[in-house]
Structure 1
Amino acid sequence: MRIYISVDMEGITGLVDADDVQPGGRDYERGRSMMAEDVNAAVRGALAAGASDVLVNDAHGPMRNLLPEALHPAARLIRGKPKQMGMLEGLDAGHDAALCVGYHSRAGALGVLSHSFMGHEIEDIRLDGRPVGEIGLAHATAAALGVPVVALTGDDTACAEMTAWDASVVTVAVKYAHDRFAARLRPADEARAAIEESVARALAVPPARPRASTAEATLAVRWQSASVAATLLGIPGVTAEDSRTVRVSGEMPALYRLFGVWMRVAASLTNQAPYC
């Protein structure tokens, strides 16, 4: 059984502030250690369920957060950037299941460190008219490849967002949001035990595969900056809904990759900090 793990940082046990998750932050080094512990709990759960191969993709920020020597020795790591598929780099139809570890809720939600990919620069994302963030886009892309997302860890708002998207996904709340930068924390040992047990349970029965799809979907993104939207109109197939919202249609895995190009364009045009 081949298992894929995409690991973000905002939804990791104990972390609540930008200083916990951004390089140079006063608690970042501690944060990356906490990140490794949550990932390792998920790896142990996958191995207990019979996984023969576990691939971990460091999906947060600079994508160099996980220290290879801190990762479970049974797991392989994708580290660094740029990556054509970003948070889903390395995921393919040969994987039997995908796990989302340390994920957070979308922009506008009152969840811990909530945002959609680029802090305040992205105000809203819709997939076929449905509001979506990193959770929904990851799930939709994996499903289009025929890979089921079977478990997610994060705060309670991230878990609720995943459940609303797909109620069959096992979720593990490692903290409970009180505001965007405050949470009631689950004790670390308890949270990691829950991650390990929940992943093992989610994989105990071979997950049902969604039917791989090449159906056309429509992705629309509303940016804070009209300049970003105007620049993206230079890409063939991209159209404007208004001065700050652009849209494009295509097959889902390709749309996810194209969205990564959009973000690189936006990053080149803006200098706003993610959590200001």
Structure 2
Amino acid sequence: MRIYISVDMEGVTGLVDVDDVQPGGRDYERGRLMMAQDVNAAIRGAVAAGATEITVNDAHGPMRNLLSESLHPAARLIRGKPKQMGMLEGLAPEHDAVICVGYHSRAGALGVLSHSFMGHEIEDMWLDGRPVGEIGLAHATAAASGVPVAVLTGDDCACAEMTEWDASVTTVAVKYARDRFTADLRPSEEARGEIEKAVAASLSKPPKAPVVAAVPSTLTVRWQSASVASTLLGIPGVTSADTRTAQAQGTVPNLYRLFGVWMRVAASLTNQPPYC
């Protein structure tokens, strides 16, 4: 059984603030250790369920948060950037299941460290008219690749967002949002024990490969800056819905990769802090 784990940071046990998750923050070094401990709990669960190959993708920010020496020896680590598929780099149809660790809710939700990919530079996103953030887009891309999402961990808002997108996915709430930078935290050992248990139970009967209709999808992104939307029109296939909204059609994996290009364009045009 081949398992793919995508690890973000905002939804990790115990973390609530920018200083916990951004390099240079006063608690970042502690945060990256907490990140490793959550993913190691997921790896232990996968091993217990019989996983023979585990790939972990560091999916947060600079994508250099996890230290290889801090990772469970049963897993291989994809670290660094750029990555053509970003948070899903290395995911292949041969994988049996995806586990999303440390994920967070989309922009506009009152979840811990909520945003969609780029802080407040991205105001809203839709996939085929459905509001989407990192959770929904990762799920849709995995599904279109023929790989089911089995487990997601994060705060209660992230878990609710995943359940709204696909109720068959097992979720583990490691904290409960009180506000965007405030949470009621589960004890660390309790949360990680729950992650390990949920992954082992979910993978003991691997979810069925999703059936996805072979029709083009539409990804729509509303940016804070009209300059970003205008510049993206120089990319073939990109159209505008209004002065701040860009969209494109294609298969979901191709849209996911294209969106990564959009973010690199946006980053070159703006200098916005990640959470404000």
TM-score of the two chains, using structure 2 as the length reference: 0.99
Q: Partner of 1:47 in structure 2?
A: 47
- SS in structure 2 at match of 1:219: strand
Percent identical among aligned pairs is 78
Deviation sequence 1:210-235 (CA, Å, 0-9, x none): 12554210000000000000000001
- SS in structure 2 at match of 1:33: helix
Alignment of 1:78-93 (within 5 A): 78-93=78-93
Q: Partner of 2:96 in structure 1?
A: 96
User: How far is 1:207 from its partner?
Assistant: 1.6
Give the letter aligned to residue 223 of structure 1: W
Give the letter aligned to residue 165 of structure 1: W
Q: Say yes or no: does 1:28 pair with 2:28.
A: yes
CA distance in 2, matches of 1:74, 1:212: 31
Contact 1:21 1:31 in 2 (8 A): yes
Deviation sequence 1:80-109 (CA, Å, 0-9, x none): 000000000000100000000000000000
Alignment of 1:193-272 (within 5 A): 193-211=193-211, 213-272=213-272
Contact 1:215 1:252 in 2 (8 A): no
Q: Say yes or no: does 1:128 pair with 2:128.
A: yes
Long gaps (5+) in structure 2:
none
Q: Partner of 1:160 in structure 2?
A: 160
Q: Partner of 1:172 in structure 2?
A: 172
CA distance in 2, matches of 1:137, 1:275: 20
- SS in structure 1 at match of 2:37: helix
CA distance in 2, matches of 1:215, 1:122: 26
Deviation sequence 1:215-259 (CA, Å, 0-9, x none): 210000000000000000001111110000011100110000000
CA distance in 1, matches of 2:214, 2:64: 32
TM-score of the two chains, using structure 1 as the length reference: 0.99
- SS in structure 2 at match of 1:34: helix
CA distance in 2, matches of 1:25, 1:206: 39
CA distance in 1, matches of 2:67, 2:247: 37
Q: Give the root-mean-square deviation of aligned CA atoms.
A: 0.6
Moved over 3 A (4+): none
